[in-house]
Structure 1
């Protein structure tokens, strides 16, 4: 019998999902990804960590201002694949260990708030510069 187990902890049930990250640098950019399957807790922990880091590190390139929100939206859609799973249980057919701690929700993380402030501050700066030149 085949059971889909979490790639991080070995618990069941698990669902296939790929979470993405983006790091924008001034000239170049880097794309990150982590493929599942994930149990609910490991999937939420991965989603929250990668999305929060993307919101902080993703804005700093010429195309990154468009790629970062797309990456966040893709992660939000894929979050649903793991968020609706039941509580992780030890795998009866193989090794497992305790699942990852999902930690605080995405909008309760200081890194996320800082990451959301970056584009907001840039828009405010552009609006101020535009109003002064008029």
Structure 2
């Protein structure tokens, strides 16, 4: 046997129950939350939007919801003996999460990106320069506020204090040696 559900109740309250009484809308606004008056014609700009009442939209970080954030793409290059791999992480990041992403991907690029001839001469240095431009964009942001979700990334050590980045010294020295031999000889 099924009980009839009243058409005005989306939760299916049982007729005759405690929640059957219809609720009336309050005639006055809730105390403490007055309605804002509509702007008059002189206050509105030529587009019709009122600047005093418009809430500014500020992008938030897609990792920790920190604000402010900026749209940035950080790249990673991996040069294998036969193949070249290119990866990119694009999104809105706050200063802390963007720094962590930059440091992680750039350190991986520094030790994985030299093992193909084209990578060593062209693609790896180009990836590092593009990442430095992304880092400059991230550096212009102020520090984000308190991390409400607890998901903010830890920036960790700077790039050249990581052991993975120090591996890049050997191939980079070899590339500089070959380039200097080509120029001199």
* Alignment TM class, shorter chain as reference: 0.7 to 0.9
Q: TM-score, normalised by structure 2?
A: 0.61
Please identify the structure whose Cα radius of gyration is greater. Answer: 2
| Alignment-derived partner of residue 125 in structure 2 | 69
Shift of the alpha carbon at 1:106?
A: 1.3
> 1:87 offset after TM fit, Å?
1.3
Paired positions, count? 125
Rounded to whole Å, the distance in 2 between the matches of 1:117 and 1:76 is: 21
- Residue in 2 aligned with 1:3? 58
Taking structure 1 as the reference length, the TM-score comes to 0.82
> Any unmatched runs of 5+ in structure 2?
1-54
* Bigger proportion of residues as helix: 1
Shift of 1:45: 0.5
Residue 15 of structure 1 aligns with which residue?
Answer: 70
What residue in structure 2 maps to residue 117 of structure 1? Answer: 170
Kindly state the Cα deviation for residue 39 of structure 1 after the two structures are TM-superposed: 0.5
Shift of 1:80: 1.1
Measured after TM superposition, the shift of residue 27 of structure 1 is 1.1
Shift of 1:11: 1.0
- The two structures, once aligned, show a CA RMSD in angstroms of 2.2
User: What is the CA distance between 1:123 and its match in structure 2?
Assistant: 4.5
User: How many Å separate the matches in 2 of 1:19 and 1:49?
Assistant: 10
- In 2, Cα distance between the equivalents of 1:74 and 1:107? 17
Q: Is the 8 A contact 2:159 2:165 kept in 1?
A: yes
- Paired residues of 1:52 and 1:115 also in contact (CA < 8 A): no
The answer on 1:107 being equivalent to 2:163 is: no
Matched position secondary structure for 1:20: strand
What displacement does 1:5 show? 1.0
For 1:75-86, list aligned pairs within 5 A. 75-86=131-142
